[in-house]
Amino acid sequence: MKAELLLPAGNIEKMRYAFKYGADAVYLGLVDFSLRTMRKGKLITQDNLKKAIDEVRMLNKKVYLTLNIFAFDSDMDNLRNNLDIIKEANPHAVIISDFGIFNLIRKEMPNTDIHVSTQTNTTNSDAVKFWRDLGASRVILARELSLKQIENIRKNVPDIELEHFIHGAQCMSFSGRCLLSDYMTKNERKANQGGCAQPCRWSYKLLEETRPGEYFEIVQDDKGSHILSTKDLCLVHHLKDLENAGVNSFKIEGRTKSLYYVSAVAKAYRYVMDNKMTPDEGFYELRKVGNRGYTEGFFLGNNNSASYSYDISKGLAGADFLCIFQGKENGKYKVEIKNKILVNDKIEIISPNEALQAYVLEIYDEKGNQKDVANTNDIVFLKLSEDVKDYTYALGRTIGIKNESD
């Protein structure tokens, strides 16, 4: 059976784009019980959770609800108060890391599949058997496993679904069990309750105790001082290996990433999985989205210092996200601008079924006034040199990869 492509849905809009660009399933969360606390876009809340899941069912796709915080008693009380809403919404599965939540869902929602979160650090066959025997239908394996270890787990436990991350940000701690954020923010941003401030991406300096106030940059190989920041995972060249190893679901990280990120990454992996792109072509496309440099992590069994990004902390996109297409009127395309566009600019347009380049011939504001430039957050109409057939979910970006020679 072909592996599932599983995308993040940080909000409803991203959920829709994920499916349009090739996802078989998405994972989404309610703010109080999820390890990603989204604050932008049309958030998924208790009020619209059922509507979002019903929408997915209409597409004959799947949706998994993340209930993967490490819960305190107050969290458990809150979850019990919201359990009827979750039951009514009826997700295909729930993703859980906490034993208390696992036990509650197993008792109160016996017909709902339980997926064991990567936060449980499942790295061996006996642990997978334990979760299977407890009633889980799927285990999301730890990122710290090599291909050979995954193959061995599948051989030893053939009767449970296995999920594995194939793309996205990695944690410097073992499968995310990190307290740096809690400590650095005085418990205001608790990592294991959805508030991670990502201190592993911060730049650090050394203070010598006999010289208070004198700071020294921590440098490794003259590349900077981001000593904890890992590169992003990218296994686009190993999808066949994972499928042959018996992995049922390929998971993309990134519920806090942009709509462009979700769409472009989904399309690249979908096309490689469907043999519409080679892995090399897919990797080129993935370089156009935000990343801290790519690594295969532990997958080949040789994880080392090359998996860390010592010189940058934020993801740098190889292409700039320029606009979201919203419709077409009188031969011109209505778009929301994300980065400045000028008349005569040549842009790349991607959609679920197209990829083309076009010149911006004319720009008009909503009142019909002609302009030379469209700025961030403007709603404008673009006259293009090429016809975009599949424009409903189309996105615009710059052409090629910036600093490709670097």
Confidence at 160, pLDDT banded by 50, 70, 90? very high
Confidence at 223, pLDDT banded by 50, 70, 90? very low
Given a cut of 60, is residue 218 above it in pLDDT?
no
Please state which of the ranges 157-161, 168-172, 249-253 shows the lowest mean pLDDT: 168-172
DSSP designation for 300:
T
What is the assigned CATH class of domain 321-397?
mainly beta
Bridge partners, residue 26, by sequence = 7, 63
pTM of the model: 0.88
Given a cut of 80, is residue 115 above it in pLDDT?
yes
Q: What is the mean pLDDT of residues 121-145?
A: 96
- The CATH topology of domain 4-175+229-307 is TIM Barrel (3.20.20)
Amino acid code (one letter) for 282 = G
Mean pLDDT of the chain: 88
| 4-175+229-307 and 321-397, same CATH topology | no
Measured CA to CA, the distance from residue 65 to residue 26 in angstroms comes to 9
Bridge partners, residue 234, by sequence = 167
Phi, psi of 54 (to 5 degrees): -60, -40
pLDDT of residue 200: 67
Q: Domains of the chain: which residue ranges?
A: 4-175+229-307, 321-397
Q: What is the pLDDT of residues 37-58, one digit of tens each?
A: 555 556 888 899 999 999 999 9
Q: What is the mean pLDDT of residues 178-183?
A: 67
Measured CA to CA, the distance from residue 188 to residue 193 in angstroms comes to 10
| Both tokens assigned to 102 | 């696992």
Measured CA to CA, the distance from residue 166 to residue 253 in angstroms comes to 8
Q: Which residue reads 């979850």 in tokens?
A: 79
Amino acid code (one letter) for 207 = L
CB 184 within 8 A of CB 194: no
Closest CA to 335 of 347, 322, 345, 326: 326
Q: What is the mean pLDDT of residues 317-322?
A: 92
Integer-rounded Cα Rg, in Å, for the chain is 22
Return all residues near 240 (Cβ < 8 A) that are at least 6 apart. none
Q: What is the mean pLDDT of residues 133-139?
A: 98
